[in-house]
Structure 1
């Protein structure tokens, strides 16, 4: 359901009309430019006894349309209460015990994850989460946050609005996943010889910004500076090589005062990187491939109940007016198989998925599509 309203009372009333049952979880995907009073909405939902989690995103997706205002509301069946983990900007946050929930599972389930997309240690957190949930679970989700790239509270929980946090919901569905990006190699390999969490300080033992801009300027025929960095870098991400799969993309978004490249997501020291380049037709084709990947895996398409789309905001910024072609490709292909299922999701600051339905990975500039059945 998509609700275009800035009134917490109207949104709450729309949710309460959804025939909520004890195991139902309401997932709220909120467009950041909305003037909705989020704390008032949280208070209303708490008063009504609704189980919910949510995130604020640069845009939300309903069918083939991107909305910059409003709320996508999903009613999903959960196998346990959602988990909220705070203090992820420190090293001493506490993990919950997932063992009682996992021991009671009779089939594979899906973990829907929303995180603060501007945390510096996302990959480390996800690695710890995978250690605890493992292959009993398929993973899908994304990073919440603002298009301004200013970190601020971006997760809606019964405890209020949070940052440096994650919310995890174990859903009573299996999932088939499609994960594609479509970016192509321009230059490399290059070694990230000095890094710290999500900042690359040196490439091939030289200042990272100097090395990066030398490669990029040769291709774009323009001068790059810290002031125009994001406008140019959105077309030239890094790719972390993976065997027998597309690179995992890392998105450099700014330059710090030391010439370090600040990325969305961690880059471990001595990682081998390639500089990638985008071609709109390739990205749009990759989105279509992601749909085919999720639908072609299964003989259970008749049982698909929800299709979740996690589309990187920087893909939309790169594609500009052609982004709607990407969403149309997705919607048309899904509805050809399941006409009654509306693809819904968000523009994310980083994408979360089981890599090949196995290891949990954090992506940038990628599209993740999950068919929940």
Structure 2
């Protein structure tokens, strides 16, 4: 696989930059796939020039809460990563669908999956608008048609930490109500993943006593928002953004952690509810979480090690077995916690992959990946998820 990358900024002449960008690493005639992760103003500017520059390539991407590239973490930038398959049967197919509202999430997942021929399908990369969506239901809809043996990874678009409006790029342009995915095909495709958090639970476990899908109404018989605000104290003034600092750990009926974290997308003061990024177990328990920068960096390193090991990719001191793309999707909440040290989690990932992968990705409103060592896809919050995409030599 050939991979090339360019980073654009607000002051750049987009048309000129694209016209003069010659991704020689990708070769000719053109890339098969161009991934775009961008701040909203640049994403809206890039669609038409990108179509003109690479009319035959599949173009997909989304708005972010921070852009990840081989140079680290950026804000107010646009990261373009071009890929070209080298194997004879390597190829990709794109699918898109509008999302009517949050209740449409599962059906939208089925519509996406139905557009992808299943013969030879190895994996799917999905990007979705990141506010009015139930990520768990989206994944469930896709899995109903694709089954458990097709790996799904990706993420939900960001808009800083505003949670107001996010955008997705597909072949027709930029939209605020779209889901897009690309199916990946080829016998020589190498597709591996890793996911890890680094958050620690605190306080008592609270029983879910009323919820509908991803809307939490009551904990221990009290309005969920009231319970949550008591824990947040002064941070409650800044909801929903401050909710990124205090996500929920989902617990089973036996109070044991199941490995899923849920973050806050919105609050309803009138009814006292919390809208979470994914479904909640109506018979389970929730416990608040917090994190330190060191723990989050360690979690990112663990995710990278899992993905690299699954792909059999060597680190800086080892023999490189393949060169490809390491796609990093990390939660905006992690970025807020780490602040000025956010580069450290990207550096930890880069140290694991060495020269064997080009890094690209974004800070998101939700991460889509199986658990490490598993095939069943889940919606994650507050995690670093890493997808390695390459080809056997």
TM-score by length of 2: 0.82
1:184 maps to: 200
Distance 1:255 1:152, change over 3 A: closer
Contact 1:120 1:266 in 2 (8 A): no
1:82 maps to: 94
Q: How does 1:81-230 map to 2 (within 5 A)?
A: 81-89=93-101, 91=104, 93=108, 95=111, 98=114, 101-103=117-119, 105=120, 109-152=122-165, 154-172=167-185, 173-214=189-230, 216-217=231-232, 222-225=233-236, 227-230=237-240
1:69 maps to: 76
Does residue 65 of structure 2 align to residue 58 of structure 1? yes
Is the partner of 2:368 in helix, strand or coil?
strand
Does residue 18 of structure 2 align to residue 9 of structure 1? no
Distance 1:97 1:353, change over 3 A: closer
Distance 1:372 1:118, change over 3 A: same
Contact 1:3 1:72 in 2 (8 A): yes
1:31 maps to: 39
Distance 1:232 1:3, change over 3 A: closer
Which one is further off, 361-370 or 196-205?
A: 196-205
Distance 1:245 1:111, change over 3 A: farther
Report deviation, 1:153. 5.1
Q: Give the counterpart of 2:288 among 275, 281, 304.
A: 275
Contact 1:239 1:248 in 2 (8 A): yes
1: CA distance, partners of 2:281 / 2:17:
43
2:48 maps to: 40
Is the partner of 2:159 in helix, strand or coil?
coil
2: CA distance, partners of 1:35 / 1:55:
8
Is the partner of 1:152 in helix, strand or coil?
coil
Please give the root-mean-square deviation of Cα atoms over the aligned residues, in Å: 2.8
1: CA distance, partners of 2:118 / 2:47:
32
TM-score by length of 1: 0.86
Contact 2:43 2:78 in 1 (8 A): no
CA deviation map 1:4-51 (0-9, x unaligned): 2443413542566554557712111112364862453365357x3443
2: CA distance, partners of 1:193 / 1:288:
37
Is the partner of 1:114 in helix, strand or coil?
strand
Contact 2:93 2:184 in 1 (8 A): no
Report deviation, 1:274. 1.7
Is the partner of 2:194 in helix, strand or coil?
strand
Is the partner of 1:83 in helix, strand or coil?
strand
How many residue pairs match? The answer is 360
Report deviation, 1:110. 2.5
Is the partner of 2:302 in helix, strand or coil?
helix
Report deviation, 1:351. 0.4
2:246 maps to: 236
Is the partner of 1:283 in helix, strand or coil?
helix
Q: Give the counterpart of 1:322 among 323, 338, 341.
A: 341
2: CA distance, partners of 1:196 / 1:75:
41
Unaligned runs of 5+ in 2: 315-320
